[in-house]
Structure 1
Amino acid sequence: MTYSIVQALLVGLWAAFCFAGQVWGTYTNRALFISFGIGLILGDLQTAVIFGATAELAFMGFGVGPGGSTPPNPLGPGVVGTIMAISIKNLTPNAALSLSYPFAILIPFVITFIFSVNSNNITWARKAIEEGKYRRFHFLANTTLIGFILFAFVFGFVATLSTNALQTFVEIIPKWLINGLSVAGGLLPAVGFALIISTMVKKEYIPALILGYICTAYLKIPVIGLAFAGAVLAFNNYYNAKKPSDHNDSGDGGNDGNSNEEGGIEDGI
Structure 2
Amino acid sequence: MIVKTLLVGLVALFGYGEYFLTGRGQVARPIVIGPLTGLILGDLTTGIEIGAALELAYIGVVEIGASVPQDMVSSGVLGTVFAITTGKGISAALTFGLPLSMLVLLVQNLAYVFIAPLYVAKCDKYAKAGNSKKLSRMAFWGGTIVNFVPSTILIMLAFYFGTGFSSTIVNAIPQFVQDGLVVASGLLPAFGFAMLIQQILRKEILPYLILGFFLSAYLKTPIIGVAIVGMVIIMVMYYDEKKNKSVGIGGISDDDDTDSF
Q: Aligning the two structures, in what range does the TM-score lie when normalised by the shorter sequence?
A: 0.7 to 0.9
Structure 1 counterpart of 2:52: 53
2:14 is the alignment partner of 1:17: yes
2:188 is the alignment partner of 1:188: yes
CA distance in 2 between partners of 1:182 and 1:10 (Å)? 29
Offset at residue 221 of structure 1 (A): 3.6
CA distance in 2 between partners of 1:137 and 1:246 (Å)? 46
Task: Count residues in correspondence.
Answer: 252
Of the candidates 115, 121, 136, which is equivalent to residue 119 of structure 2? Answer: 121
3-state SS of paired residue (2:253): helix
Change (3 A) 1:240 1:186: same
Change (3 A) 1:235 1:101: same
Answer 1 or 2: higher relative contact order, Cα 8 Å, separation at least 6: 1
CA distance in 2 between partners of 1:175 and 1:217 (Å)? 33
Offset at residue 145 of structure 1 (A): 0.9
| Residue deviations 1:164-222 (CA, integer Å, cap 9, x gap) | 21121111112222222222222222222222212222323223222322333344444
3-state SS of paired residue (1:20): helix
Offset at residue 83 of structure 1 (A): 1.0
- Residue type matched to 2:99 in 1? P
CA distance in 2 between partners of 1:93 and 1:22 (Å)? 27
TM-score (ref. length: structure 1): 0.78
2:207 is the alignment partner of 1:207: yes
CA distance in 1 between partners of 2:34 and 2:124 (Å)? 39
CA distance in 2 between partners of 1:245 and 1:207 (Å)? 24
| Residue deviations 1:5-52 (CA, integer Å, cap 9, x gap) | 211111112212211323344333221221121122111122212221
- Residue type matched to 1:253 in 2? D
Stretches of structure 2 that go unaligned for 5 or more consecutive residues are none
- Residue type matched to 1:105 in 2? M
Offset at residue 135 of structure 1 (A): 6.2
Question: Based on CA coordinates, which of the two structures has the bigger radius of gyration?
Answer: 1
CA distance in 1 between partners of 2:51 and 2:199 (Å)? 24
Change (3 A) 1:240 1:132: closer
Of the candidates 63, 66, 69, which is equivalent to residue 67 of structure 2? Answer: 69
Alignment check: 8 A CA contact 2:91 2:185 kept = yes
3-state SS of paired residue (1:114): helix
TM-score (ref. length: structure 2): 0.80
Alignment check: 8 A CA contact 1:35 1:51 kept = yes
Structure 2 counterpart of 1:149: 148
Structure 2 counterpart of 1:250: 254
2:2 is the alignment partner of 1:5: yes
Of the candidates 54, 64, 82, which is equivalent to residue 84 of structure 1? Answer: 82
Stretches of structure 1 that go unaligned for 5 or more consecutive residues are 257-263, 265-269
Structure 1 counterpart of 2:33: 34
3-state SS of paired residue (1:63): coil
- Residue type matched to 1:249 in 2? S
- Residue type matched to 2:119 in 1? N
Change (3 A) 1:132 1:63: closer
Alignment check: 8 A CA contact 1:39 1:49 kept = yes
The 5 A counterparts of 1:201-240 are 201-240=201-240
CA distance in 2 between partners of 1:86 and 1:215 (Å)? 37
Alignment check: 8 A CA contact 2:34 2:77 kept = yes
CA distance in 2 between partners of 1:94 and 1:233 (Å)? 39
- Residue type matched to 1:11 in 2? V
Structure 2 counterpart of 1:159: 158
Change (3 A) 1:111 1:23: farther
Change (3 A) 1:139 1:206: closer
CA RMSD in angstroms, aligned pairs only: 3.1
CA distance in 1 between partners of 2:136 and 2:202 (Å)? 48
CA distance in 1 between partners of 2:213 and 2:55 (Å)? 20
Change (3 A) 1:7 1:124: same
